Structure 1
Amino acid sequence: MSRPSPSRLSVIVGFGGFNAAGRASAHHAYRRMIIESLPIKERQETIAGLAVMMGLIDVDESQYIRIENDQPLTLDEIESEFGAAVLDGTLIRRIEKTFFDVDAAHWQKSAVLSSGSQPLVFEMSRRDLPEPVPQHWEVEELEAGRVKVTLADNLTVKLDSYRDMPVKSAGQLPRGFDPGALYNSHFHPRALQLAVIGASDAVRSVGIDWLTIANAVKPDEIGVYASNVMSQMDENGFGGLLQSRLKGGRVSTKQCPLGLSSMPADFVNAYILGSVGHTGAIAGACASFLYNLRAAVEDIASGKCRVAIVGNAEAPITPEIIDGYATMGALASEEKLKKLDGADATDPRRTSRPFGDNCGFTIAEASQYVVLMDDALALELGADIHGAVSDVFINADGFKKSISAPGPGNYITMAKAVAAARAIVGDEAIRQRSMVQAHGSSTPQNRVTESQIFDQVAKVFDIKQWPVSAVKAYVGHSLSPASGEQLITSLGIFKYGMVPGIKTVDKVADDVFAERLQFPLQDLDRRDQPLDVIFLNSKGFGGNNATAGVIAPQVVEKMLSRRYGAERMDKYFQQREQTRAAVEAYDAAALKGHFQTIYHFGEGLIDESQIDMDNTSVTLPGFARPIDLAFTNRFDDMV
């Protein structure tokens, strides 16, 4: 029997995005999470980069400067003068008034007006009369376009009102950072602004010009896999669309199309890459990133795709979305936290408490994208490999009593992921050099059910003291990009060897299953025993369970050496130095606020009259290689 052809490995060659911890590329958001454990220089560089993002300091071409007087600032001075403001203005915190006032959120209150036994009389502008005028309204013309209205009946009206929001914290982008200011974002919903800057950051982080990458493959061998769960629900998206009639406004031409949940992929194709390749927008509730990642990994393994951009962008910090999740009892409200702590006040930065005594998750905004290549292309181009995704498993829960309740599907995905990774790295690596990035949503039900799954899987595979981390303690729950935050944090763990502790928790809750698990409450130093594989676990409403295995770069290099040999790898290592230099140059510029956001609007349009087609290929103007039409019969054994 012939041996099956080897699968192509999906290697991670770029990553980027923005969340409550800052910019993802070059591990800066990760570094904000472990800032207490960083060496002085890296800590100060992280603070300085965030200070620029937040508009606290300025830059010129070569140095940081004080905004008030243009005086140069050293890293020591930046940390001393602005460090506290940077730390306070990042991660989970009280919802800021740039979104809405949580103490006085706008709403409309219904009321019935009457004048007792007398008719109700009032004046108004003629142009404000309802259409058609109600039959029981008696309208008398006045001067200057006004009318007097007399009603024998009562009048139901909506009155502008303001009320306290029970949920007051969220994971927000660094204070003062405006994503729309990085490109011409006129009328773009916030989630699409995040998609543009996040995907651009990821593409820039590769260190290889996109045209070079595109010319190295056929046009249809590039794929973009991205989506979001809540669509675009602010004024410029579906939110404005659905509210316009009730507010007496008009629907714009952009609100409907820009509200679609496929737009985080469509914008990447249309305005960043100019791609004509595969596009997909898969939604799987809070597991959506892993759903899209799985599609990309499978397409790369089969050879259908050679380059993939995978990501999600979500901007759910709106009163309506918060109302929705809060009414379900899913969010941590201020009153529930006070009761939990037995205190009159609560710390808005500690609302997300995975695996501790908790009462609900903390909603967040984020944009996270990664760039994948097959292993052969990565070596050919000299791309820097930050890790690899070997497998992503997805399973449903079967029959459910409640659509939001967890179920058995996550047992299957976790067991499969560990078993698949064991087949690659071996038993010892799984037992001694692996960890879990938990979904860790910070709900009482999650802490019990997810920990029980981990503990049982650890027992089956004879794992003891399995480290479990939960990034939602830092950045909140961003819904669709949440697993992207897990993945990019894992790349930071591979590089720096520090597992971010669950620092918002004083102790692990008593009902958590922890016999074989380790929940570090402070940063866990694994530099003496580097991790070989990290498992990303995600659970979404509706039974959307997904688990991925991410392989460390040092393990990937060994795998590639076995596949390609030492001589080929030496050539790759030499070529990779140029890529790393380009990445460092981009990072240095981005630290000073020069993100070089890619946004091509109306540029490079394909002249369809210049498309050359025959029965073997399609050649598009502007693309180096043709699209192959020489298909073979995949079902030749059936013909």
Structure 2
Amino acid sequence: MGGVNPAGRTSGHQAFRRTVLGALPDDDQAQTLLGLAAMMRLASGQDDGGWQDAEGHPLEPAAIVEQTRQRVLDHTLIRRIEDSRFNDEGLPANRRASLALDTPLTFRIRRRQLPEDLPPTWQVHEIDRHTLEVTVPAGQMEVMLPETRQAQVRTAGQLPTGFEPSRFYRSVHHPRGLSMTIFAASDCLGDSGLEWDALRDRLDPDEVAVYAGNSIGQLDDEGWGGLLKSFVSGNRATSKQMPLGYGQMPADFLNAYVLGSVGGTGAVLGACASFLYNLRLGVEDIRAGRRRVVMVGTADAPITPEIIEGFRAMGALADDDSLRSLDALELLTDADYQKACRPFARNCGFTIAESSQFILLMDDALALETGAEILGSVPAVFVNADGWKRSISAPGIGNYITLGKAASLVRDMLGETALRERSFLHAHGTSTPKNRVTESHVFDLVARAYGIEAWPVVAVKAFVGHSQGSAAGDQLASALGSFAHALLPGIPTLDAVADDVYAERLRFSRTPLSFAADAAFINAKGFGGNNATGVLLSPGVTERLLMQRHGEAAVAAWQARRETTREAAANYLQQADRGHFQARYRFGEGVLEGPELEVSDRSIRIPGYARPVSLVVDNPFGRLEEGERG
């Protein structure tokens, strides 16, 4: 697994540890804070094992932790938006106006700044080769006046301050989401401890797939955002904005610049359930035997004025006025912004966030052969729509079906006791009034149906916000951390469970909860009726299932091979914790266009790939004898 969100880096469970920081042993707390300080460029680890602060002064690790602790805590997770446009500078905008000119208006302008198509009543005189004089007759003149507007939403889940994913490779005007993709996928490969080229060489190139995207494309200025406002802003559209804005572009970037994959590819966009939709593609491909390795992920960077205004206009976001009203405040402080997201409490809207999360799926035989570190397993992802509804953004009934099926599968695989006592819910938990009622009702009805009396609920958006299509990726990464540390993050903004929450059979906690889980349910209730629930099994349960399927000897051999993998992963994590990141980005390497291939009726050999692509395909349709006619 790999990625980055407002809590930090996904590899090594760093981001998870940030959300349970107070419950960790002192050494783990110090390691987490030191790694985040390095990530935020507040300190750096040296090759000789020493450390330096941001000014280059040698310091002991303990001193760096003490020196940077408060800044790390204040500049991770949800907080006041740090973009100056959302604060004193104001958001750039235009206001339409009609000027009443009593007398003709004369002004001078550079030739290249004058519009090509002028009103016929305007008079233009040349002053010199660069300057023109324009006279506008008296009367009405329609204009757009530039202005700045005060932001109505000032809180978001932002990546840790000082961390810029575009710094780690040759990024040339890439949208932020794609830079996050490159970092997250590289982090995933590093955390795996496996050498990608060696893994790829074991396989038919068509046994690899990448399913990655996001929920709304790349809408910052380097993507479709800049393209769509190019005319009204007076800026030129670039040749990159159109292609780099597509929602499946994270998968395209991984195939072209990170993995060199020619296997399956694509992305399913399903609002807040997008990560789980892509995960479902990977799981079903592996179960069907079509692929053996699948990289699954998402990357969303929606903290832009336009996207925030869109969600605010539909009443979905926790804006400043709503937060002040909720807490009867006249002025919001930094501390108030940090607790804006309050799943299952009295709340007023979600908090937007940015994140990129990737996981590497493998079939069980290949995982054993390669000595892969098994963090958990995903037997199934269930997806259902809402059916008839009034508002397209309103919740519906699909989530009852997805969670009900997921609970049924866990009961069938692990038994009643495991479902009732050793499973937990990773709620969508957006912090909207409708979500707290409808999602808790789903949980309550399913709990009643399966005899669950105190189902633990985790709502990680209280820490990192709502990263749209990547939200379930944040949840899954957090659940893997819970398996590793036997801790469930609390909901620190839950002062009290709201009166309208169906809480009788649910277990909420403000603080981290010790819990040894066998299974987690990754839940998503997306706009438009995009509901999904993924079943995630713990590494302990997964190992028992592998033992049952492959036998003790195969599992023992895997455990021996895993030591080499763990050593490689540990080396990567040590460098990452010191702030030394190496993004895997291979622009222009190994480019093939077709003439280099060796094509027969049985296979295609591709230069640079150890094994050929088999052209032998399954035919479930039957066969007509030659000469037979309909």
Q: How far did 1:626 drift?
A: 1.4
One-letter code aligned to 2:410: A
* Mapping for residues 55-454 of structure 1, pairs under 5 Å: 55-67=41-53, 70-97=56-83, 100-101=86-87, 104-116=90-102, 118-143=103-128, 145-346=131-332, 347-454=336-443
Unaligned runs of 5+ in 2: 626-630
Q: How far did 1:613 drift?
A: 1.5
1:487 aligned onto 2:473: no
CA contact (8 A) 1:56 1:67 kept: yes
CA deviations 1:420-470 (Å, max 9, x no partner) are 111111111000100000000000000000000001100000001100010
CA contact (8 A) 1:241 1:252 kept: yes
CA contact (8 A) 2:213 2:249 kept: yes
Partner Cα separation in structure 1 for residue 541 and residue 126 of structure 2: 83
Q: 1:102 to 1:467 in 2, by over 3 A?
A: farther
One-letter code aligned to 1:140: H
Q: 1:170 to 1:281 in 2, by over 3 A?
A: same
Q: How far did 1:59 drift?
A: 2.6
Which secondary structure state, in structure 2, belongs to the residue aligned with residue 245 of structure 1? helix
Q: How far did 1:83 drift?
A: 0.4
Partner Cα separation in structure 2 for residue 607 and residue 231 of structure 1: 28
Q: 1:489 to 1:133 in 2, by over 3 A?
A: same
Q: How far did 1:564 drift?
A: 1.0
CA contact (8 A) 1:607 1:621 kept: no
Q: How far did 1:119 drift?
A: 2.5
Partner Cα separation in structure 1 for residue 445 and residue 136 of structure 2: 73
CA contact (8 A) 1:228 1:313 kept: yes
One-letter code aligned to 1:479: Q
Q: How far did 1:268 drift?
A: 0.6
Which secondary structure state, in structure 1, belongs to the residue aligned with residue 269 of structure 2? coil
One-letter code aligned to 1:458: A
Partner Cα separation in structure 2 for residue 24 and residue 239 of structure 1: 28
Q: 1:544 to 1:635 in 2, by over 3 A?
A: same
One-letter code aligned to 1:482: A
One-letter code aligned to 2:158: Q
Partner Cα separation in structure 2 for residue 115 and residue 631 of structure 1: 75
Q: How far did 1:73 drift?
A: 2.3
One-letter code aligned to 1:120: L
One-letter code aligned to 2:476: L
Partner Cα separation in structure 2 for residue 165 and residue 296 of structure 1: 40
CA deviations 1:91-136 (Å, max 9, x no partner) are 00000026754761111112222333x2333332333222122112
One-letter code aligned to 1:492: G
1:463 aligned onto 2:452: yes
CA deviations 1:32-64 (Å, max 9, x no partner) are 001111111111111111111111112321335
CA contact (8 A) 1:99 1:317 kept: no
Q: How far did 1:525 drift?
A: 1.0
Unaligned runs of 5+ in 1: 1-14
CA contact (8 A) 1:32 1:46 kept: yes
Q: 1:404 to 1:607 in 2, by over 3 A?
A: closer
Q: Percent identity?
A: 48
Q: How far did 1:607 drift?
A: 6.0
- What corresponds to 1:3 in structure 2? none
Partner Cα separation in structure 1 for residue 271 and residue 70 of structure 2: 36
- What corresponds to 2:628 in structure 1? none
One-letter code aligned to 1:16: G
Q: TM-score, normalised by structure 1?
A: 0.95
CA contact (8 A) 2:87 2:154 kept: no
Which secondary structure state, in structure 1, belongs to the residue aligned with residue 362 of structure 2? strand
- What corresponds to 2:491 in structure 1? 502
One-letter code aligned to 1:263: M
Partner Cα separation in structure 2 for residue 313 and residue 98 of structure 1: 24
- What corresponds to 2:35 in structure 1? 49
Q: 1:55 to 1:64 in 2, by over 3 A?
A: farther
One-letter code aligned to 1:550: L
Partner Cα separation in structure 1 for residue 15 and residue 139 of structure 2: 61
- What corresponds to 2:531 in structure 1? 545
Which secondary structure state, in structure 1, belongs to the residue aligned with residue 272 of structure 2? coil
One-letter code aligned to 1:373: M
One-letter code aligned to 1:428: T
Q: 1:476 to 1:590 in 2, by over 3 A?
A: same
One-letter code aligned to 2:546: L
CA contact (8 A) 2:296 2:359 kept: yes
Which secondary structure state, in structure 1, belongs to the residue aligned with residue 393 of structure 2? coil
Q: Higher mean Cα deviation, 264-273 or 158-167?
A: 158-167
One-letter code aligned to 1:624: A
CA deviations 1:220-260 (Å, max 9, x no partner) are 01010011112111111101111111122211110100111
CA deviations 1:530-567 (Å, max 9, x no partner) are 10000000011110000011000000000000111111
Q: Higher mean Cα deviation, 95-104 or 126-135?
A: 95-104
CA deviations 1:194-219 (Å, max 9, x no partner) are 11111111111110100111011110
Partner Cα separation in structure 2 for residue 553 and residue 68 of structure 1: 39
Q: TM-score, normalised by structure 2?
A: 0.96
CA contact (8 A) 1:34 1:523 kept: yes
* Mapping for residues 503-542 of structure 1, pairs under 5 Å: 503-526=492-515, 530-542=516-528
- What corresponds to 1:472 in structure 2? 461
One-letter code aligned to 1:158: M
One-letter code aligned to 2:477: I
CA contact (8 A) 2:41 2:54 kept: no
Q: How far did 1:604 drift?
A: 1.7
Partner Cα separation in structure 1 for residue 55 and residue 121 of structure 2: 67
* Mapping for residues 25-44 of structure 1, pairs under 5 Å: 25-44=11-30
Which secondary structure state, in structure 1, belongs to the residue aligned with residue 143 of structure 2? strand
- What corresponds to 1:8 in structure 2? none
Q: How far did 1:472 drift?
A: 0.4
CA contact (8 A) 1:505 1:521 kept: yes
CA contact (8 A) 1:64 1:72 kept: yes
CA contact (8 A) 2:215 2:247 kept: yes
Partner Cα separation in structure 1 for residue 70 and residue 471 of structure 2: 27
RMSD: 1.5
CA deviations 1:563-597 (Å, max 9, x no partner) are 11111111111110110111100000011111221
CA contact (8 A) 1:206 1:579 kept: yes
Which secondary structure state, in structure 1, belongs to the residue aligned with residue 101 of structure 2? coil
Q: Higher mean Cα deviation, 275-284 or 67-76?
A: 67-76
Partner Cα separation in structure 1 for residue 550 and residue 115 of structure 2: 75
One-letter code aligned to 2:386: D
One-letter code aligned to 1:423: D
Q: How many residues align?
A: 621
CA contact (8 A) 1:120 1:154 kept: no
CA contact (8 A) 1:289 1:482 kept: yes
Q: 1:105 to 1:246 in 2, by over 3 A?
A: same
Which secondary structure state, in structure 1, belongs to the residue aligned with residue 503 of structure 2? coil
